Structure 1
Amino acid sequence: MSSTAVQPQSPKKRSINFSNIILGATINMAEVTSLGQPLEVVKTTMAANRNLNFVNSMKYVWSRGGIVGFYQGLIPWAWIEASTKGAVLLFVSAESEYRFKLLGMGNFTSGILGGVLGGVTQSYLTMGFCTCMKTVEITRLKSASAGAPVQSSWNVFRSIYAKEGLRGIYKGVNAVAIRQMTNWGSRFGFSRLVEDWVRKATGKTKPEDRLNAWEKIGATAVGGGLSAWNQPIEVIRVEMQSKKEDPNRPKNLTVAKTFKYIMKTNGVKGLYRGVTPRIGLGIWQTVFMVGFGDMAKDFVAKMTGEAPTAKH
């Protein structure tokens, strides 16, 4: 009498196509144009001006143009960044997450590693000069002096490039890579972990059981908020890219030099300046990129006539 061993179910993935690329670009544009950029501006302002608290930072941003002040750097830098980095993130992270599952890793580990690879890839391929220029726009002096007109954003970009070349417009890119690696590793990993808890609590134990919209959003919001643990590297990144006048700032900053400078001038508290709007931004971004991203895959697939990548 023979017996047949039951083979474990492998993760399923449909063919690679442009669905995730379209999805990533679309939802990231929506995220940054809504609440994303205002939170980014307040967070960056607090990180660059570490003497300001949340309320004073809001007042400072308002003084730089009213409601428009909260959208400094949106056009064109945040739009360029959003239309590219989201596509790279979802495409690379989804494909990587699927590959790690094939190796036998669980949701939590696969989510972290997929997010790490997605975050690093988007940093070096798409985010370098955009992140730098957004920070320049938020931190540079915009009042005219000696009758000279305020430089446009494009003119600032050209002057930095003419003076410092690619090194100037990609200043702080290594810090960006560390931030994005830990950001999306945490966001995807924590989100998948909470999803597993929700599945157990609601009895959704089968692979084909899907979380509803509120369960998905709740899990990703928790993941986004918890990802703010790496705020020190974000403050370091802002300081490296800042155009705020500071005669005490060391020249030729590296991640290590910047860390020492912030610790010397502001202590440990300085490394966590801006963490409150960062938590809000983390929740907002993760709900869009992980929660809405997962829920929107079927919609985009119908729109394009293709099946989304890493649908499992």
Structure 2
Amino acid sequence: MLPLSSPTVLVSAPELLVIAFAFITLLGDAWFVLVGLSVLYWIGPRYVDDARTVAAVCVGFATLGLAAVLAFKSATAIPRPAMTPVDPAGLPPVIGSFVAGEIESDGFTFPSGHATAATVVYGGLGLLLSVGRKRLRYLLAASLIVLISLSRVVLEVHYPRDIIAGMVLGSLLIAVGLAVGRSNDRLHPDRLFALGGVASVVGLGVALQGGHAEEVLQAAIGIGTAIGGVLTWRAFGDRLVAAPPVSLPLAVVGLAVAGGLWIAGYAGVLPAVGAVAASAAAVGIILLLPLAAERRKKSGKTETVEA
């Protein structure tokens, strides 16, 4: 009899753990958070009455959180851990490319931006959305925050102190943000955007003083996002809340245009002033898209009446 050959193990258990946490850390990536909040803002009102206002507030929270992290990272300038949990080249090509992107360790480490963003965004959604049972929302939000934060240590791009600091910072920002952005049980997204703008200006000053070019660009994007959010919501806030949900095709177009502007800013193809303008336009497109849906809806009704 021929000996039976043992099956080839493509991915070891430690590698599988890293891959799993790479997908978890994806939930805290800036682009994923932005896309998720945009979809909630556009389509959420179809299912949850306060989805649009809460989503806008959480975009403001994200701006504030990233600006605060930027300021602290520029001030401390502590390098990331000089380690990698796995060699992406040893993984299947598609998975290896994905993992390589998630364990990239450029920039500074303290505090964790993922832990801060997860806390302000998912914590904000859990606290503010009026869907489901409150206890279940809190549990889900806390689980996401802990898992996303833990993933940064498993992927060896942060130290434990970084994620603890990020969660503490995010919690403080939620408390400050709600104190500023909520009055008489009403949420004011423009106030959160303004607060994020102030934090971004502080971050810009710290980054300039430290000579950190990448952080200067990120601060410029934060300032632009804040400007676009404040101006748009103050001019059209009530109409935006009352506007209908956005259709899927229109949402895809809006995401492509707004995303392209943000990518141009992050890619460094624009100077700092250009990054401010591009990010302001991007958030303006996201916030104003429901008015385009409203116009299309009215046009459809007019055509029906005329017919």
Asked if these proteins are the same fold (TM beyond 0.5), I'd say no
Q: TM-score, normalised by structure 2?
A: 0.28
